[in-house]
Amino acid sequence: MVVLSRPSISLLSFLPVRRFLSHCRRHRLTTHFDKGAECISSRIAADNMYSVIANFKQFINPILFILLFSSLVQCGFVSTSSYRTLLYGEKLKGFLTISPADENGDTYIVSFDIKEKPNDTLVWAVHTSSAPYDMAVMTDNCRRVKKSPPVVKNMPVTDSTINGDGLAGNTLVISGDNSEVLACATVIIPGKQLMHASFHQEPIEGHVHIIPIKNNAVRLVPDLKYMPKYDYVEPEKKIMTWAFVDSCVNANDSTKQTDYSEVGVDSRATFAFELPENYTLEALALYREDKLFACADIVNVEPRTLKSLGVTLRQNHYFEPVIGLKSPPTELHIRDDCLDISTEIIHKNYLDYYPSVNIFGSESIMLKSLVLNGSCSALRPQFARPAAIANFLHPIIGRIALVDTDDKILLTGEIRNIFDEMSTRATVLVSNKTAESTSCTHTTCETCHRVENAAVVVGKNEKAVTLTGVFNWFNISDMRSAIIDLEWMKVCANLTVLPSGALTMHAMVKRVAPFSSATVASVVALEYPANNYTEILINKNKNSPMFKHISDLWIVVSQVVLHVEIRILEVSQNHENDSSVIFDENFVTGATSMLGTSILLKDGKEVFCGHFEPPCERFVAFAEFGHPFDGYIKMTQYVNSNWESGFPTEIYYSLKYSNQTDPTANPESVSWEIVSDQNLTCSTAVIFNPLQVDESECTSQRYEFCPIGSAANRSKPLLMHARWHLTAQSFPLSGPYSVIGKTLRLRSIKNQNQIGCYPVKRVSEATFRWVVYTNTSLSTVQNRISKKTGVPTFKIEVDYTRELYQTRCTIFRITILENDEKLEKILDSFDVEARKFNNDTELICSGTQPLSTEASDAISQNIITSSSIPLPLVLVLLSLSLRFL
């Protein structure tokens, strides 16, 4: 079932998918992503992103999903004409509303809707201090505010008008008889974007919020305090001042905008500042005794939403309570984790608000567990935060994630002990040292960050449980490994840092054409390990004429399967360029990973295609088959260590029996596995099992219980007479568990005597540009390169789109995958500047030059290219000739 906020998607008829869908992946795509830290994580800025939430469960394998986007309701923070917030005290409950009194925003109307109150004479005042919403200390916060200087005071609790300059960022306090503080709320002016800068610099941490007031004026709302480690140790105290700067990179050299006023620690006193005209807020710096102490970028404060068991909770910022959306329950039963009944706390609903919980701040309920109607599940964030992940392979299996919330580092994940039957708890440590292997040589770690007994490690056959824990803040970018300490055993895994919180793949969708390969859309898959969902973003090229008239645009993301009926969703027409969709699946690293799958867009005879891959460097290995089989298998690993990041390995293969010409004969499956021959025969070689896993519980449904070499269980069996695509989980081509250098064994499932073993060899890449006559087909280019270099055609990748050169010639981009020694010889025989092999005949590319008899014969012998061939045949040529053969 697909749920839309504004229905606009309808079902089309079923459409069969042909084999050529898989081969558009061969049209390789350049990317603008940095291949550094962001190679596995990138976040697209989407201020006007459109969203639909879909339930993937209706689609069955092998189909992954089909996405079509249009007319979706914009999500995110939307400014309103008034600001309404809850007033919640022990004796007084109600609402405060702030509305503009004029068009210029000079004055505002303050109005009250009191639901419960004592029989006191109520008055209100505005004080120059803030009160972050924390129900546990809200009364104390309100009393503390009242000690700060007032802007106005002793106003009756009736509709009143007040100057906006004195209202924004300050706190309104309601008092009763004898000046008893009853409730308070920090006021955020409607329509003004709340911003903040976060600081974590020994010995101080906290936030400074910034609120535009009017014209060029802003109000600074500090909330800085000493770190918890100084609760019992007196920190060194110094006078601290502030300044707006252009950048934190060169803060000392930046122009400062400041009045040199003091910023207090453990003081929430607010103050206003007038900025120069047209000044853009970039960063805020703090100075202790006039020396730069800390600097932080200024960012917008966005609402935070949590979801669990059909319950949706949202908090707009630090100064508002949490509200429940879509018929929230009367009570929230929240535990630290599902197994820890002793930590369960009940939080009451008051007119859809939950005043006693927070999503922002150090006491956030994010990733804690909600109990509802006999079920229990983690409260998953629906927003992005920087994170780091660690994947454990043995004997603890599973993944944990560390999430930076600005205030704390939250721990979440699911891990399992493959030996024990019962659940237990473990201490989690985070280290700035790299783990060489799972042997944990660095576990004696006095400086490690730790959470005692935080990790629930379930037994091998028990239901998964989401663990949770809270660390004091640290910079996760500086951390290198995580340690699970079970007291009698310690297990380590290296961390993969995700600056945007997501593991990323993308597909650049381009027009399938020989000479004009315009990008019409980019599709990005962002898997958030802490959120446990994948967001698919589509950015359509607004300059492309395609999107001005497409009425039957369709997007298919599918495993490569012939004759499969696929359900299509139709795009209704609009002029928006961005769309997004969220699935509760791990489409980047999970069993349903989209790695290697293709997107096909069609408009009449125009075809557009893209291929999902991470924006990273790749490791490639081949095994070339011999008797009794014929063909090859290509293995591709993205990022330096996929066993640490969790990316599956991409598998392409072509398989048949030697000397067999009938493709319909013996339609059978073939098992494949990696073995360590160790001078044994092919049939007796043992499966590659560096972790010494007990094979007795190995199944395709529980591949984590399998040896690394049990490839068929980590993916699927191979099919005879097929060119196919698979993904294999935890199948590394690098690191201590690499399968490179081992042996691939094939065995017919139908006929066990048909068996063969072939070495797995890593290859490198060499790319060059080669000039040929324009009417040379791709298959001819590939065959000629193969003949010149002695490299089999399946190791030669030819980009479908090529570049015209003068009148008669074309430049193709060629990539050869081979061992280093052979690549060196090939490159020695190629003239890069002339874009030809040393023994190539000189081409006459200019139309003004007369052709020799030899050149005329060379042109006439070439096959006519796809420009004169009907579209289906073009795609067949594409499937036979392009990359990833």
> What integer is the mean pLDDT of 43-71?
32
Q: What is the pLDDT of residues 732-760, one digit of tens each?
A: 998 888 999 999 999 998 888 899 999 99
Q: What is the pLDDT of residues 293-316, one digit of tens each?
A: 999 999 999 999 999 999 999 999
The pLDDT value given to residue 546: 54
* Class of the CATH-defined domain 623-759: mainly beta
Mean pLDDT of 458-462: 92
Q: What pLDDT does residue 575 have? A: 39
Q: Is the pLDDT of residue 238 over 70?
A: yes
The confidence score (pLDDT) of residue 868 equals 33
Residue ranges of domains in the chain: 2-76+501-611, 83-186, 195-300, 304-381, 387-498, 623-759, 765-881
The pTM assigned to this predicted structure is 0.83
64 pLDDT band (50/70/90 cuts)? Answer: very low
- Identify which has the larger pLDDT, 19 or 212: 212
Burial 359-379 (b: 16+ CB within 10 A, else e): bbbbebbbbbbbbeeeebbbb
**Residue 795 token pair:** 């190791």
Q: How far is CA 608 from the centre of its chain?
A: 25
CATH of domain 195-300: 2.60.40
pLDDT of residue 46: 31
Q: Taking Cα atoms as reference points, which of 175, 178, 179, 158 lies closest to residue 123?
A: 175
Question: Can you tell me which residue has the tokens 């984790």?
Answer: 337
Residue 577 binned pLDDT confidence (cut-offs 50, 70, 90) = low
What's the CA gap between 240 and 285, in Å, rounded? 10
* Structural tokens at position 749: 């499932």
Share of the chain above pLDDT 70, in %: 81
> Which residue matches tokens 């990539």?
815
Does the pLDDT at position 499 exceed 60?
Answer: yes
Phi, psi of 855, rounded to the nearest 5 degrees = -70, -40
Handedness of CA 421, 422, 427, 429 (dihedral sign): positive
Closest to 265 in 3D by CA, of 196, 318, 204, 199: 204
* For residue 86, pLDDT beyond 50: yes
Which of 740, 786, 518 lies closest to 636 in space, CA to CA? 740
The two domains 387-498 and 623-759 share their CATH topology (first three levels equal): yes
Distance, in Å, from the CA atom of 339 to the CA atom of 454, rounded to the nearest integer, reads 11
Q: In terms of residues, how long is the chain?
A: 885
- CB of 582 within 8 A of CB of 9? no
Of the candidate ranges 71-80, 178-187, 301-310, 806-815, the one whose mean pLDDT is the lowest: 71-80
The model's confidence at residue 436, banded by pLDDT at 50, 70 and 90, is confident
Contact 114, 132 (CB under 8 A): no
Of 232, 524, 518, 529, the residue nearest 384 (C-alpha) = 529
How sure is the predictor about 179, in pLDDT bands with cuts at 50, 70 and 90? very high
| pLDDT exceeds cutoff 60 at 289 | yes
Average pLDDT rounded to a whole number, residues 97-102: 92
- Which candidate, 213, 219, 190, 210, places its Cα nearest to that of 84? 190
Q: What is the mean pLDDT of the chain?
A: 82
Each residue's pLDDT tens digit, 789-821: 999 999 999 988 888 999 899 999 999 999 999
Query: Which fold does the domain 387-498 belong to in CATH?
Result: Immunoglobulin-like (2.60.40)
pLDDT the model gives residue 797: 92
The answer to whether 386 and 500 are in contact (CB under 8 A) is yes
- Output the DSSP codes for 323-357: EEESS--SEEEEESSTT-GGG-EEEE-BTTEETT-
C-alpha–C-alpha distance, residues 812 and 803, integer Å: 7
Is the pLDDT score of 628 beyond 80? yes
Averaged pLDDT, 35-57: 33
| pLDDT tops 50 at residue 45 | no
Tell me what pLDDT residue 65 has: 35
Q: Does domain 83-186 have CATH number 2.60.40?
A: yes
Q: Phi and psi of 676, rounded to 5°?
A: -105, 105
CA distance 447 to 682: 50
Quote the CA–CA distance of 594 and 638 in Å, as a whole number.
Answer: 13
| Mean pLDDT of the 354-369 span | 96
- Distance, CA of 203 to CA of 197 (rounded, Å): 17
394 is written with which tokens? 């043995």
Strands 578-583 and 51-54: parallel
Q: For the residues 389-416, what does the mean pLDDT come to?
A: 94
HSE (side-chain half, CA atoms, 13 Å) at 159:
6
- Contact partners, residue 134, CB within 8 Å, separation at least 6: 141, 358, 361, 363
For residue 59, give every residue at least 6 positions away whose Cβ sits within 8 Å of its Cβ, in sequence order, or none: 65, 66, 567
Residue 23 has what pLDDT? 36
User: What confidence category does residue 865 fall into, taking pLDDT thresholds of 50, 70 and 90?
Assistant: very low
User: How high is the pLDDT of residue 145?
Assistant: 95
Closest CA to 131 of 69, 79, 88, 73: 88
What pLDDT score does 476 carry?
Answer: 95
Who wins on pLDDT, 113 or 716? Answer: 113
- Residue by residue, what is the 3-state secondary structure of 296-324? EECEECCCEEEEECCEEEEECCCCCCEEE
What is the per-residue pLDDT across 524-536, written as a single tens digit (0 to 9) for each?
A: 999 999 999 999 8
Per-residue pLDDT at 884 exceeds 50: no
Per-residue pLDDT, 68? 33
Tens-digit pLDDT profile for residues 383-402 = 999 999 999 988 899 999 99
Name the pLDDT band for 611 (thresholds 50, 70, 90): confident
Read off the tokens for 499: 């600056």
233, burial (CB in 10 Å: exposed 0-12, middle 13-18, buried 19+): exposed
Mean pLDDT of all residues in 657-673: 78
Task: Identify how many contiguous H helices and E strands the chain contains and give both numbers.
Answer: 8, 62
CA dist., res. 238 & res. 287, Å (int): 10
CA-wise closest residue to 66 among 725, 745, 568, 665: 568
Task: Name the strands in the sheet holding 291-297, side by side, starting at the edge strand that comes first in the sequence.
Answer: 240-245, 283-288, 291-297
Whether the Cβ atoms of residue 674 and residue 737 lie closer than 8 Å to each other: no
* Beta strand spans in 74-194 (E): 83-88, 93-100, 107-116, 123-127, 150-156, 160-163, 171-175, 181-186
